[in-house]
Chain A
Amino acid sequence: MESTLEQHLDDTMKNPAIVGVLCTDQQGHNLGCRGSLSDEHGGVVSVLAKQAAALSRDLTDSPTVCLESESGNILVRTHGTITVAVHKIAS
């Protein structure tokens, strides 16, 4: 059943600019990861997204959290019950 998600993660990694991707549920449990993002980042990622969502009263507004660095950005976004983090390097 998880093959669709696994395939989606692999397809995402095919993009040369993307070096890491991570999916977690609302409790930070890792549902799938590739590359530079792994198990131990699940908790941090889910909490960041949850706290950012609390900034806005609009419940339909899902923010994208961007962690910027000189080598690349990590973008975190929640959709429904899952949170996805993508580590993208400057291309």
Chain B
Amino acid sequence: MITGGQRFVASPPAFSQDGKKLLVCTGCTVSIYSVSTGMQITELEGGHTDRVTSVVVVPVGAPSSKFMSYCWTSSLDGTICYWDFASAELIKKVKIQFPVHSMVIPSLSTIGSTEEGSNLYAFLSVEDINKPASEKKALHGQVRIYNLKNQKPVGGLLTETRNPEILYASKNGEFLGISNKRKLHIWRIPANNFRFDEIKKIKLHHTKKLTCLAFHSTLRMVAGGDDTGRILIWYNFGREKFAQNLQNLKGTKNPSDEAKPGVRNNDDVDSCTTWHWHPSEVKFLHFSSDGAYLYSGGNEGVIVVWQIDTGKKKFKPRLGSPLLYFTESPDPSLSCVSCSDNHIHLLKMPTMDISKSISGIKPPFSFPLKHEGSCTQVAFEQTTGLVAVSTEDYCVQFYSLFDNHEVSEVQVCKRNFQPADDVMLYVALVAISLDGSLMATIDVTIPEEKLGGLVCLKYWTRGSLVAEYLLSTVIYEPHSDAQVSSLAFRPGHNMAVTSSYGGDFKVWVHGSHAGRNNESMQRTGWRCQSVGSYKGKPLTAAVFSADGSILAIAAETMITLWDPDSNILVAMIGDTLSPITKLSFVGKSEYLVSYTHSLKPQLSVWSTSNLALYWSHGIVTEAVSCSHDESQFAVLALLSSPGDADAKGNGVIFFFHVEDPVPVATWTVTKAKGGSLAFLPANPSLHESSATNGVNQLLLVFMNGKHEYTIFNPHKEENIISKNSRKSQAAQDEAERLGYTSIYGDLSNSNAKHNHFQEVPFAPSERPWETIFSGSSHALPPLTKLCTSFFESLLEKRLENSNEMIIDADL
């Protein structure tokens, strides 16, 4: 069983301490990506059973601990885990009992606090599950303190909020804050080994709902963003309350006499300024590590860089989707921004160029309601195991199911994406031919009060790369102004069919014809070969048989069979109770499966040899997939009727043999609404063992409404396909060692005493000899300078060796 398609942007990612790895929360696991290649290195799994909500990397204190790569993770399953993420090992697990929504460990930030003896306090934002969920007004969110050293809670609650809020800590670990409705709560946390009652708190007030906050790295400055797009900056907060020495304060004059510009409710700050650029909610705020700039971002997909002293702005536009988090790495030239389209962009810092993208499968978007019937967001390309997903920013994303990463993206409509409330232009249908060489898309512009609607059919041919498609033909309004209901390619031919609710279908062929003038080259393109209709009824579905000899078109309740070459009506089958939503031929057999989607749901299997209904079920079908060769098909059925408002979305996958109305196998799934199914051939590169058996194994892939997917073998009870066969894909760029490193590595390993330290991963050290001696001799600096740096590198290596010995002694 292979799972994939997790959301990378559910929680903020974290950089490792050397800035070369990125820890991304992916569902119940934490995936570690290489910053330089953008590929997954390893995965921390087995610790959590629910969504991981935050990752805190233990910083490197002294240079002696440079090898250490440890992190704390918190999860909704009420546990906190301590990992060695270099070797992907779980070290410690702490039970909290409450779902943890956010965790910060401020004392980690102060260097050296990881030494023995000091307690490690984690501040947790937990959900109080004792209070019933039906009580809307109850305070479900709590902020608690937990001592991770002795695994005991400390003191009582810091505060209670309506919902669990995200915790923010300042860089030096002195302050902690949450945004609670129209207020910011800020605590000052004393240094190590504090008592609970030493923690002091202030509140800062605003008139709008605050959504995020950020602490300045050095100054006593806090910024808050609200849901109207304003950014407030409070200077010098907590001068009275957090003052170390009360006597000193009394000596000065009472600050309340002074004018406090922009401050509400006589808050404990000197002044407050407001900046406004974002038109909607501010999603993140982040002070740069040097404290000169403030980064902010929101729904409109633009990172705004504010110069704090002057308020001047710089922009990084066209990131393509609403932004969620901004994370800075210890390396000042690198940071990353998480977008809500499941992408994490790594930015080269001063210029903010995207150097790499960690791209997950793009999430589904909501179609406008009345057009929902005629949309399929997902198309599978059988041969290479790719899925094509139409995305909100008018693209088709190709995603490798077996490797769980994005392959390419095809821009269907050349238009700048602006996140808006209502979708006016969307890619409605995507179809890919069986061999993957052709693609067709339909994009729809919704008219503004019956003005300017446009349906556009585009044909694409594959380029030289996998999943690289080039536009070949554009057809505006293929069925005048009627909506296109389905789009299908004919297997083995350069032919496609579109059917429309306007009552006609068109067969398109790819052919070459001479250009208008003789000078221009011969042009190739798609053109309409024939048009057909059946009694003027709306045509709701169209499909070719597996060998391409028959075209089946559903005219509401009737199924009509056509000869696609001569465009002659061959036969008609049966009568369903309500209009057919989708048709599919079952493999190479004579049977046809259809389902209807309205109030009287029905799944029917038709025989084309005697033109009659074979069997049917009254189940709410969401998707059907037929294997290409065998006479089997899988059905995704919902457990609730479509009219149900509060449908949970649980569903069942039935695996039928076409001769038998009793399913061969069933599986229950969640989030089935909007899901899809497909048969894929087992990827030979991944599963040599099954290929040698001689059995042509088909795998079934189920993609749920959130675009998370599972690939499994429908023929076997046990899911023996091992997970993570894709691990081999990860580029282990850190593994390579050259020149002196390899020599030094060998030296340490040859020491029999330290044999068991071979697992200790080597942090890639600087290798100055690779660069300092390169270049022409006249351009080289004097040899004395080179020598020092060369020897320094050697010395450093020696130190690391001694570190190993120290660790050894500790153990």
Indicate, yes or no, whether A interacts with B: no
